[in-house]
Amino acid sequence: MSALACLRVVVRSDQSAYSEAALGLLVAKFTAAFLEVRWSWPRKFSLINPYAFLLNDPRAAELDTAELGRLSAELHDHLFGVAEAGGSDVTVLLYEGEDSAMAQFADLDEAQLLQAMTDPAAAPPGGRLSQITPDGRRLQLPPVETETTDAAVGQTGAGAARGMDRLPNVEAVQGVYYSAREIFVADVVASTPAESRAHYSLVDGDDHLPADPAAFDADCVIAAFRFLAESRSNTPLYLPISFSTILRPSRRAAYAAVLSILPASERRRLAAAVYDVPRAPSFHALRQLHEVLDATFSAIDLRTHDPAFEIDQLHAEAVSSVTLVLPHAEPERRLLVLKRFIGKMEAYKRRRIWPGVTNVRTRRELETALEAKMPFVTGPGVCRPQNEALGGRAWRTDQLPVMPLVETRRPLPA
């Protein structure tokens, strides 16, 4: 038992500012990166041409299209910006049939595909053509005129719930505060699935970290496009990178594919926030990090829970910064951990590596960090999730934390 289908991405090229060659390259890179995350093993995919992919699920008689639903909306946002309600210049099609028929379908040009969507005779014979909707449903193409209202429109119960699950992620940023100048100098990106009960954040502690780091990191890559376009300054955006996941040989190629969709021209504005780093990362591990990340990011921040992080084992300027994540613990314990880290600031200075602290929650913790001249501080006691980047904005310390400045496009989970 094995399900096979040809996935086709139809893009309205007349609406794009890209050249035909550039558009094809972007669609291929983005779709491959999307499938690396969503189309999980043992399911497989392979590139046929920039707009067509062969999908395979060896465990099923028919492909499950639930994960494919978000592709059209996310690819539209990447190529054209956020779509108006109900509108998109990207369509995702699925053709199931014999190998030869799928090969013919993969070779259809844009005009032929549009005709096949309305004329049964225009599609290769011996197969089934359908459109994947943003909520993951299949719509038969061409539409069957005798479909009942219940089948075509009036889905309720589990079907309606599945449609709600396909809502776009809630994207947010939280500012990185530079205490010496009382200014936000960067932002940390987060992306929370609509169905999550709590918002995801790299700076709000472990209870706000995702269960699936690879999917979270990939979603933040997508979110970065909006903040790059909308930011009022050229200050950096920090994107989360899971240390343990990216160092797995089986996942490293997937990360590279996801990161490759980020524009090389924006490298100076992109920084990597590598989280869950152990006390003493090996030289080999750091070299692998640089091999994967240097082409995309201009700075690398290591985030650790251990105040005794072995900074003296790192070469000078081995990374841009090291950030301590305050633990989920009693207030006095948190302060002891913070002060222990503060005690090693001279070692960071010798290595020419900036220290920082995150998950700052209380005024007392903030004041302790500021009195010690800790350069960078983040967390809910500094800046709550924002819908707009704060980088470049001056902000007095007595006015922290920053509450949401504007309404989010959808309310963040608590």
Band of pLDDT at residue 406, cut at 50, 70 and 90: low
Per-residue pLDDT, 150: 39
pLDDT at 88: 57
Assess whether pLDDT exceeds 70 at residue 414. no
β-partners of residue 389 are none
Helix (H) / strand (E) containing 371: helix 363-371
3-state secondary structure of 198: coil
Percent of the chain with pLDDT over 90: 52
Give the residue, 163 or 83, on which the prediction is more confident: 83
Q: How confident is the model at residue 13 (pLDDT cuts 50, 70, 90)?
A: low
If pLDDT is split at 50, 70 and 90, which confidence band does 222 have? confident
Instruction: Name which residue leads in pLDDT, 190 or 13.
Output: 190
**What is the C-alpha to C-alpha distance for residues 365 and 396, in angstroms, rounded to an integer?**
16
- The residue-averaged pLDDT of 95-123 equals 89
Residues 296 and 255: their CA atoms lie apart, in Å, by 11
What is the C-alpha separation between 107 and 124, in angstroms, rounded? 10
pTM of the model: 0.69
- Between helix 363-371 and helix 331-342 the angle, nearest 10°, is 10
pLDDT in tens, 263-318: 888 999 999 999 999 999 999 999 999 999 999 999 999 999 999 999 999 999 99
Whether 174 shows a pLDDT value over 90: the answer reads yes
Q: What is the pLDDT of residues 155-168, one digit of tens each?
A: 333 333 333 344 67
SS3 label, residue 39: coil
Among 17-21, 101-105, 324-328, the range scoring the smallest mean pLDDT is 17-21
- Given the DSSP bridges, would you call strands 237-242 and 127-132 parallel, antiparallel or unpaired? unpaired
Determine which of 31-35, 122-126, 214-218, 266-270 has the lowest per-residue pLDDT on average: 31-35
Nearest to 379 by CA among 328, 342, 309: 328
CA-to-CA separations, 398 to 40, 362, 370, 392, 402, in angstroms, rounded: 47, 13, 11, 18, 10
pLDDT value for 411: 58
**pLDDT range class, residue 33, cuts 50, 70, 90:** confident
Give 82's pLDDT tier (boundaries 50, 70, 90): low
The pLDDT value recorded for residue 71 is: 79
- Cα–Cα distances (Å) from 16 to 43, 171, 230, in that order, read 32, 24, 19
Question: 3-class SS at 269?
Answer: helix
pLDDT of residue 158: 37
Q: Tokens 């007349």 — which residue?
A: 14
Q: What is the chain's Cα-based Rg?
A: 24
Q: What is the pLDDT of residues 329-352, one digit of tens each?
A: 999 999 999 999 999 999 999 999
Question: Of 36-40, 210-214, 372-376, which has the strongest mean pLDDT?
Answer: 372-376
Give the mean pLDDT of 91-109: 91
Q: What pLDDT, on a 0 to 100 scale, did the predictor assign at position 409?
A: 54
Mean pLDDT check: name the lowest of 12-21, 201-210, 243-252. Answer: 12-21
Section 37-51 average pLDDT: 86
Instruction: Tell me the range of 12-26, 156-170, 220-234 where mean pLDDT is highest.
Output: 220-234
pLDDT at 28: 86
* Cα–Cα distance, 349 to 229 (Å, whole number): 34
H-helix segments, 331-401: 331-342, 345-350, 363-371
- Indicate the DSSP class of residue 386: B
